[in-house]
Amino acid sequence: MAGSTSDPTPPSNTPDWVALREDDGRAYLLDRAAGEVKVKGLGRFDTGQLLNGYSVGDRIMVGQKSLTIVDAALPEARRNMFRRAQTIGIKDSGFLISWMGIGVGSRVLEGGHGSAGLAMHLANVMGSAGTLISVENRAEHAAVGRQNMERMAEFSSEFPDWHLIEVDLSEASGKVKEICAELDAAIIDIAEPWTVVADIASALKVGGRLACYCPTTAQLEKSWNALEEEGLVVEFSGEMIERRWVKAAKGGVRPGNQPMGHTAFLIIAAKIAPEPEEEE
Ligand SMILES: C[S@@+](CC[C@H](N)C(=O)[O-])C[C@H]1O[C@@H](n2cnc3c(N)ncnc32)[C@H](O)[C@@H]1O
């Protein structure tokens, strides 16, 4: 554009994230403004000095590694996330978001928050108009999830109004209702989802959807029964099966030797209006 100038250099304390990508897809998120850091897999260095003169799209050597500088985004953040609890992966997050209609401006509850695997996917599509409430009852898990979410907020052009509530999900509905009068969607990923279905369903709008992430069939059955007892209608129950293909050594492409095994059964139910009471 005529008369435009290059972006001003941000002040040194403003986070300025990029990702360094190995050719195979492994990635490391770096903040140019962070100063001296130690990055697992890359070593210790000053980020400003290392990246000085380099831009997104350039190749850079770090020690023996040749890396491409790319924008920090969800795929890179996922590959480089801090981890503690087991996370919900891409195939299940993507399906839940699409089926449940989660998008810009949605009001969503997710718990347990764990390492924020699912929460990062949700935040990525909800825009600044969205409200995301995460619930986690273990402080050490909440701390890891918060690290991932705060970093993502710093490199995202839009990020929802995010609340991390450190309580048990069975006691969360009061606080949830203080933040949001009602929810469009809720996703439960704890060992006993059926124990909190009633409480969380009470915060859901009519037409909203509640999903449970159930690694075992016993969890699925108990959650299914609890959803129906609350008057919700099960719309989907099943699992996503991912089968990757590879290039064969002697030509051609074929399914790989390492299919992704089972992750979890997903069950999604919608809240409908209650039946009118029958007149005497
Ligand atoms: C499998 S992890 C969640 C992973 C997360 N959804 C993700 O994608 O990264 C389950 C989490 O739920 C938390 N949790 C278990 N029971 C809970 C409860 N009743 N209330 C709140 N959090 C709970 C655990 O501490 C753990 O961090």
**pLDDT value at 1 more than 80:** no
Same domain membership, residue 58 and residue 197: no
| Closest ligand 1 atom to Cα of 145 | 9
Same domain membership, residue 89 and residue 63: no
Give the model confidence (pLDDT) of 34-52 as tens digits: 999 999 999 999 999 999 9
Domain boundary among 54, 72, 90: 72
Query: Which residue has its alpha carbon closest to ligand 1 atom 26?
Result: 114
- State which residues form the domain around 220: 81-271
Same domain membership, residue 187 and residue 138: yes
| Mean pLDDT across 130-157 | 97
pLDDT of residue 93: 98
Is the backbone peptide bond immediately before 252 cis, with ω within 30 degrees of 0?
no
Q: Rounded to the nearest whole angstrom, what is the distance from the C-alpha of residue 58 to the centroid of ligand 1?
A: 39
Residue scoring higher pLDDT (10 or 120): 120
| Interatomic CA distance for residues 260 and 241, integer angstroms | 8
Number of domains in the chain: 2
Same domain membership, residue 132 and residue 113: yes
Q: For ligand 1, which residues put their CB under 6 angstroms from it?
A: 85-88, 111-112, 114-118, 135-138, 141, 168-170, 189-191
pTM score above 0.85:
yes
Same domain membership, residue 171 and residue 215: yes
